[in-house]
Structure formats: structure tokens, C-alpha cells
């Protein structure tokens, strides 16, 4: 019985020191948010004002969450990362939309030029 | 909930204006409904589902709480994302249609060829072999290949990062497990060593004393008074000192944290007052000698019980001999271990 008590006490002490906060560190969400930010960058979010706005928000929130995690405020960090992820997704989608619109406009201009040259 | 208040300054730049919480929820519901009843439900079902999950969390949160506002915000953004996907796909289709139109027009356009003679000749070609049409098609295909390459590279990078994360977590858990096991092993080794030392100490004592490990007071070592004192005397006999040397060594081996109670007992011959004082002086003598042998004075207490606590009848010589004794009581909290 006493042996069980001591083993239990040491196990509790180890786990108590290992888990200083109630919420686990949101490392998965952090990675997902970072990947989403990178995907938005790759999609050219910096080239469209609206996408760039969302991208800036996402970057700032990822940085905020990292600082919160260093301070073991994991619960709050999780909420901030949820916002960072959705902003990064919006940035990427907006960038792709803007790219498609620009492509369409450029093609339209080529067609118009051909038409102005008297071609069908 | 209090922790959430820390979130607000960090997300002030993007947070919805702080207002009535139910208004946030109403807006979130409205945006979700717009997305769910639009082509987004078919084109971007994942985003619509994510909006629905966030809306549910907002609805489940306490009214007018920060949690409600947070998830209402997420629900609105997810719904916005779903509708933006519809717009993006439509824009891409427009672009594709225009590309196709341009290809057709280009293929039908008359080609201007500089003839060797220096005369400009306008040639109209509509055959698939038209070089410019092919070049355009190749360009479109190259763009598509580039896009697929980027997506593939992105997916590979995501997989790699997830694997790195999983590996790091796995290593961390293994390290923690190993550290815990090492502590348990060390504890078990300590306990084994303590148990061996205790057994050795008790074996030494059994040579001249009786040992009761089941007494309510704890472990009780009983030494007959005749071994240590002359009749009516509290002065230790030389042979008693030899025994007490062993006893001191044994007590020290039992550990360094426990306390011991030395109790002197007599038979019922003589006055009770005399017997009580004699038993106290004998206990004091044993205590003093044990202290001389290295047992800390802070750990050892002497009591005289006189004739008040006999272990046998005082009507016969054998019983009285058993009653004349010195007992060393080791407290129960210590006997089991350190």
C-alpha cells in the first residue's frame, strides 16, 4: 500500500510539473495556421489589397498566439489561432479570386484588341 | 472566461465591434443561411460545414459571452469564405472561357507572313496544325502543370511538417516516460535498500531483545531489566553497554528521521512511587547512553511507567522478571519505511 502511495505521489508530481496549464498547447492548430499563412503567401495574397489585409491579420495573430503559448496561456492561444486560420484561408481564397479576375481581364483585353484589328 | 479577456486586445484589429452579443449571433445565423442556401453549399461544402460548427458553438455558449462573440465571428468568416469560393470558381470559369474564346479567335486570325520576295502575304489558317494555336495551348498546359506542381509541393511540405511535429511529440512523451520510470526505479531501489537495512538491524537486536512488530504503538523492542541493571539500581552494567552499542547502531540503521520512546517498567514490589522513579531513572540512563553512541537527542524520549503497565502477573518470580524491562518503541509512521 505504502509503495503504491509513493509511486502515485511521484507520478503526480511529474505530471503536475509537466502540465502547468489546464489546456494542452495548441501545437496542431499552430502548425495548421502557419501552413495556411504560407499557402496564402504562395497564392499571391500580398498582391491584392483585400487579401493582403487578411494575410496581415493572420500573421499578427500567429505571432500573438506564439507569444501566448510561451507564457503558457494555451487556452487563449487556441482561440487566437482559430482566427488566424480563418483569416489566412480568406487571404488565400481572395488572392486566387483576384488572380482569376486579372487573368480574365487580360484575356478579355486580348480579345478586344483582336476585334479592334478587325479580326473575328 | 476571465482568460478570454486577454484575447480581446490581441484581436482588436479584426474583431467585430463589441455590441449586444445576440446581435453577433443573429448576424452569424444570417450569413450562414446565405451561404447554406447559395451555390456555396454545393461548391464549398467543407467551408459551409465549418461555419455551421462555429455557429453551433456560438449558440451553445453563454449568452452575451466572449465565447459567443468569438464563435459568431468565426462562423461569419467561414460563411464569407464559402461564398468567396463560389466567386473564385466563377471567376476561374470565366477566365477559362475567355481563354478558349481567345484560342479560337487566334486560330481563325489571318497570319501575316513575310514572303521571301519581300511581299507581305496574309494567310488564314484554321487547321489544328496552326503554330500559334499550338503555342497557346502549350502555354495553358504549362500553367496548369505549374499549378499542379505548386499544389504537390505544398502538400508535401504540409505532410513533412506534420510528421516533424508528430515525431517531436512522440520523442517528448518517450522522454517523459523514461524520466518517470527512472524515478520509480530509484524509489524502488531506495525502498529495497531501506528494507534490507531494517532487516539487518532487527536481526542484530533479536540476539538479546524481543521484538514485537505488531504492537499498536509501533515496533517495540523489549530488553529485560536484568540484562542492563542490578536489582534496584539505575546504573548500566558493563555488559548492558555492549548491548546498547548494538542497539544504538541498530536504531541508527533504522533511519534518521524517526523518534524513539524509551520506557522503563518495574514489577510491583516496593512502593509505586519508588518504582516509577526507578523506571524513569533507568529509561534516562538508557537514553543518555544511546545519545553518547550517536543517537540524536532530539529523536529519543525517556519515560518511567513504573509498575503501571505489566505484561505478566506479579504473583510469581517469572512474571515479575518479565515485568522488569526496558522497552524501545519505534513510532508506526517510521517502521514501514523512510
Nearest to A80 among B7, B99, B101 (CB): B7
The answer to whether the CB atoms of B183 and A10 lie below 8 A apart is yes
Contact pairs from chain A to chain B, CB under 8 Å: 123
Nearest to A14 among B162, B179, B337 (CB): B179
pTM of the model as a whole: 0.47
Which chain B residues touch A75 with a CB distance below 8 Å? 3-4
B 48-77 residues with CB < 8 A to A: 70, 73-74, 77
Which chain A residues touch B159 with a CB distance below 8 Å? none
DSSP annotation of B328 reads: E
Dig out the grid coordinates for A2 from the structure.
505504502
The answer to whether the CB atoms of A80 and B10 lie below 8 A apart is yes
Note the ipTM here.
0.79
Nearest chain B Cα distance for residue A86, angstroms: 7
Q: Residue B335: what pLDDT?
A: 40
Of the candidates A119, A111, A40, the residue with the CA atom closest to the CA atom of residue B154: A40
Polymer length in residues for chain A: 120
d(CA B256, CA B62): 57
Average pLDDT per consecutive 10 residues, chain B (338 residues; last block may be shorter): 43 42 86 95 93 95 90 95 94 92 78 51 53 76 86 86 87 90 90 81 80 84 88 88 84 74 92 93 93 86 92 90 90 46
Nearest-by-CA chain B residue for A82: B74
Percent of chain A with pLDDT over 90: 71
CATH topology of domain B206-335: 60s Ribosomal Protein L30; Chain: A; (3.30.1330)
For residue B83, how many other CB atoms are within 10 A of its CB? Answer: 21
pLDDT, greater one: B238 or A5: B238
> Domains of chain B: which residue ranges?
2-106, 130-193, 206-335
Nearest to A3 among B81, B105, B191 (CB): B191
Of the candidates B71, B72, B32, B25, the residue with the CA atom closest to the CA atom of residue B52: B32
Q: Could you report the per-residue pLDDT of A74-109, keeping only the tens digit for each? A: 999 999 999 999 999 999 999 999 999 999 999 999
In contact, A69 and A34? CB cutoff 8 Å: no
Q: Residue B135: what pLDDT?
A: 78
* CA-based max dimension of chain A: 99
CA angle, B78 then B79 then B80, to 5°: 90
Amino acid at each position: 500500500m505504502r509503495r503504491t502511495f509513493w509511486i502515485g505521489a511521484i507520478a503526480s508530481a511529474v505530471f503536475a510539473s509537466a502540465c502547468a496549464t489546464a489546456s494542452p498547447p495548441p501545437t496542431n492548430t499552430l502548425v495548421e495556421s502557419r501552413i495556411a499563412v504560407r499557402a496564402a503567401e504562395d497564392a499571391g495574397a500580398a498582391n491584392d489589397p483585400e487579401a493582403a489585409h487578411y494575410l496581415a491579420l493572420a500573421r499578427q495573430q500567429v505571432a500573438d498566439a506564439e507569444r501566448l503559448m510561451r507564457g503558457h496561456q494555451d487556452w487563449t492561444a487556441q482561440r487566437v489561432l482559430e482566427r488566424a486560420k480563418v483569416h489566412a484561408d480568406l487571404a488565400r481564397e481572395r488572392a486566387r479570386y483576384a488572380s482569376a479576375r486579372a487573368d480574365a481581364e487580360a484575356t478579355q483585353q486580348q480579345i478586344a484588341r483582336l476585334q479592334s484589328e478587325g479580326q473575328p | 472566461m476571465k482568460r478570454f479577456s486577454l484575447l480581446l486586445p490581441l484581436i482588436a484589429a479584426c474583431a467585430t465591434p463589441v455590441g449586444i452579443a445576440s446581435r453577433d449571433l443573429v448576424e452569424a445565423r444570417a450569413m450562414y443561411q446565405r451561404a447554406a442556401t447559395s451555390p456555396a453549399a454545393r461548391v464549398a461544402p467543407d467551408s459551409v460545414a465549418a461555419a455551421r460548427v462555429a455557429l453551433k458553438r456560438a449558440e451553445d455558449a453563454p449568452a452575451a459571452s466572449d465565447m459567443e462573440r468569438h464563435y459568431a465571428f468565426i462562423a461569419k468568416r467561414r460563411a464569407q469564405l464559402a461564398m468567396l469560393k463560389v466567386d473564385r470558381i466563377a471567376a476561374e470559369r470565366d477566365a477559362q472561357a475567355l481563354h478558349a474564346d481567345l484560342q479560337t479567335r487566334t486560330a481563325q486570325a489571318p497570319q501575316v507572313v513575310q514572303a521571301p520576295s519581300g511581299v507581305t502575304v496574309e494567310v488564314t489558317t484554321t487547321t489544328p496544325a496552326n503554330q500559334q494555336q499550338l503555342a497557346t495551348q502549350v502555354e495553358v498546359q504549362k500553367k496548369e502543370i505549374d499549378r499542379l506542381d505548386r499544389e504537390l509541393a505544398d502538400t508535401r511540405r504540409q505532410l513533412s511538417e506534420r510528421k516533424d511535429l508528430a515525431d517531436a511529440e512522440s520523442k517528448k512523451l518517450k522522454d517523459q516516460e523514461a524520466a518517470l520510470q527512472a524515478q520509480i526505479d530509484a524509489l524502488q531501489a531506495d525502498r529495497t535498500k531501506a528494507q534490507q537495512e531494517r532487516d539487518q538491524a532487527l536481526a542484530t537486536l533479536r540476539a538479546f531483545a524481543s521484538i514485537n512488530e505488531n504492537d499498536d504503538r509501533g515496533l517495540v523492542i523489549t530488553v529485560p531489566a536484568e540484562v542492563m541493571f542490578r536489582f534496584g539500581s539505575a546504573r548500566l552494567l558493563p555488559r548492558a553497554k555492549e548491548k546498547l552499542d548494538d542497539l544504538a547502531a541498530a536504531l541508527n540503521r533504522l533511519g534518521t528521521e524517526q523518534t524513539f520512546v524509551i520506557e522503563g517498567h518495574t514489577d510491583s514490589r516496593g512502593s509505586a512511587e519508588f518504582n516509577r522513579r526507578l523506571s524513569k531513572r533507568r529509561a534516562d540512563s538508557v537514553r543518555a547512553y544511546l545519545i553518547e553512541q550517536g543517537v540524536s537527542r532530539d529523536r529519543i524520549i525517556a519515560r518511567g511507567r513504573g509498575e503501571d503497565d505489566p505484561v505478566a502477573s506479579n504473583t510469581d518470580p517469572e512474571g515479575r522478571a518479565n515485568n522488569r524491562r526496558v522497552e524501545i518503541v519505534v513510532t508506526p509512521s517510521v517502521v514501514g519505511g523512510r
